Amino acid sequence: MANETIGILALQGNVDEHGYVLDQLGVAHRKVRLPRDLDGIDGLILPGGESTTMSKLMVFNELEAPLRQALADGLPAFGTCAGMILLADEVLDTRPDAVSLGAVDMTVRRNAFGRQVDSFETDLEMPALRIAEGEKPLHAAFIRAPWIERVGDEIEVLAHVPESAGEAAGAMVAVRQGTVMATSFHPESTGETRVHQFFLRELVGF
């Protein structure tokens, strides 16, 4: 894995948290701010933060078209929260001028969990991670998170909000389409490395 590098979209948001997880896994990473930063990366992480701000900066830095092209050419990508919004092909409750990259055939609603459960944490079942019995469960933090309202035929739904989480139970919160995956929650902020390991192993092929 020596020369392999993961890019982290570094326009705004939880950039360093993802870098820290990659450090823990011994994976080299580089911040992506400009089109040239995409050269030679093996995968891209799109962090959480504020999607409309990221959208503005993506347009300002002329990153939108190169990113779309890189994703269309098969660059593996993993978006968390605002990063998931950026990867969607349809976004509800966003600003009219916000752009998204259309890399996943899904409709995402911003800030979907409503005021009461605006931000919350819960354990999630994510069978693709193959967490063995007795291992610590996947603990997920949702912070003004989006959920997924519609998925296309090619989408694999990786996780739903559990029944125990009350009114949001059943909402789709993690998906995969080929080499692109997205989660509503933030594995990078709960000391979790297994979601990143899944991305690196199954989608990037490290």
Nearest CA-CA partner of 152 in 101, 198, 199, 90: 90
81 is catalytic: yes
Minimum separation from the CB atom of position 57 to ligand GLN (A): 12
Please give the helix or strand (H or E) that residue 19 lies within, else none.
helix 15-24
Binding segment for ligand GLN among 81-89, 122-130, 154-162, 197-205 (CB under 6 A)?
81-89
In whole angstroms, the minimum distance from the beta carbon of 144 to ligand GLN comes to 4
Phi, psi of 127, deg, nearest 5: -55, -35
Ranges of H-type helices in 28-88: 51-60, 64-72, 82-87
Stretch that binds ligand GLN, among 57-65, 79-87, 99-107, 172-180 (CB under 6 A): 79-87
The answer to whether 195 contacts ligand GLN (rule: CB under 6 A) is no
Closest to ligand GLN by CB, 49 vs 187, is: 49
Nearest to 156 by CA among 172, 171, 177, 183: 177
* Four-point Cα dihedral 61, 89, 178, 8, nearest 10: 30
Per-residue tokens: 99: 């752009």
What is the distance between the alpha carbons of residues 165 and 186, in angstroms, rounded to a whole number? 17
Answer yes or no: is 194 a known binding residue.
Answer: no
x-or-dash string of contact with ligand GLN, 103-122, rule CB under 6 A: -------xx-----------
Contact residue for ligand GLN among 81, 103, 104, 126 (CB under 6 A): 81
Using the rule CB under 6 A, which residue among 15, 38, 75, 82 binds ligand GLN? 82
Binding site residue list for L-glutamine: 49-51, 110, 143-144
Residues assigned a catalytic role: 81, 186, 188
